[in-house]
Amino acid sequence: MLLLLRFNAKTVREPIISLTAIKTGALINILKADVGARRGEIIVEVPDEKAKDVEKAIAEMGVELHEITKTIARNNNCVHCGLCVSICPTEVFYVNGDSKIELKTEKCIHCGACIKVCPTNALYFPI
């Protein structure tokens, strides 16, 4: 499961991830971190069976928490060129039997690399 953590001026100074890992014994994989002086955002991947415990532990420490369910999406601008294929670190994009570019969205880690690369502006994160 992917979780988006939002830190405020207070929580951004705490070792939240480490505390949560120790408390729950969950292996937490940080996929993206944007940490500033007064706020921060981290996207983590946690094993499904530990998700409840992790969510509880993080919430108790005063960190805003959102589950990410919507991953990378595509609009009609796509011309199926495939420029995204070699950019995606987790191989979300692949060429199907019809030479079309298809997405395995469950592999998406929200890095956004493909969005910047797409020449027709066809990729986006749904809000």
Partner 1 sequence: MKTVEDINAKIRKGDVVVVTAKEMKEIVSQIGAEKAAKEVDVVTTGTFGAMCSTGAIFNFGHADPPIKFKKVWLNDVEAYAGLAAVDAFLGATKPSETREFYGGAHVIEELVSGKEVELRAIGFGTDCYPRKEIETTISLEDVNQAVMINPRNAYQRYRAATNSSDKILRTYMGTLLPHYGNVTYAGTGEISPMNNDPEFRTIGVGTRIFLCGAKGYVIGEGTQHSPPFGTLMVKGNLKEMRPEFLKACYFPGYAPSIFLGIGVPIPILDADLARATAIRDNEIKTTIIDFGVARRNRPVVREVSYAELKSGKVEINGQETRVSPLSSYYLAEKIMKELKKMIEKGEFFLTMPVERIKRSEIFKPMKQKEIRIVREFMTRAITISEDVSIEEAAALIVKNNVNHLPVVDEEGTLKGIVTSWDIAKAVTKHAKKVSEVMTRDVVTVFPDDPIAIAISKLEKFDISALPVIDAKRKVLGIVTSETISKMMEVS
Closest to partner 1 by CB, 47 vs 119, is 119
- Residue 70, C-beta contacts closer than 8 angstroms, at least 6 positions apart: 125, 126, 127
Q: Is 90 in the site for partner 1 (CB under 8 A)?
A: no
- Of residues 69 and 76, the one with the C-beta less far from partner 1: 76
DSSP code per residue over 32-89: EEEE-SS-EEEEEE--GGGHHHHHHHHHHTT-EEEEE----EE-TT-----TTTTT-T
Region near partner 1 per CB under 8 A, out of 12-20, 23-31, 67-75, 97-105: 97-105
Cβ proximity to partner 1: between 16 and 101 the closer is 101
Q: Measure the CA–CA gap between 4 and 13, rounded to whole angstroms.
A: 17
Q: Under rule CB under 8 A, which residues in 8-67 are in contact with partner 1?
A: none
Q: Is 84 in the site for partner 1 (CB under 8 A)?
A: yes
Binding site for partner 1 (CB under 8 A): 77, 79-87, 95, 98-101, 116-117, 119-121
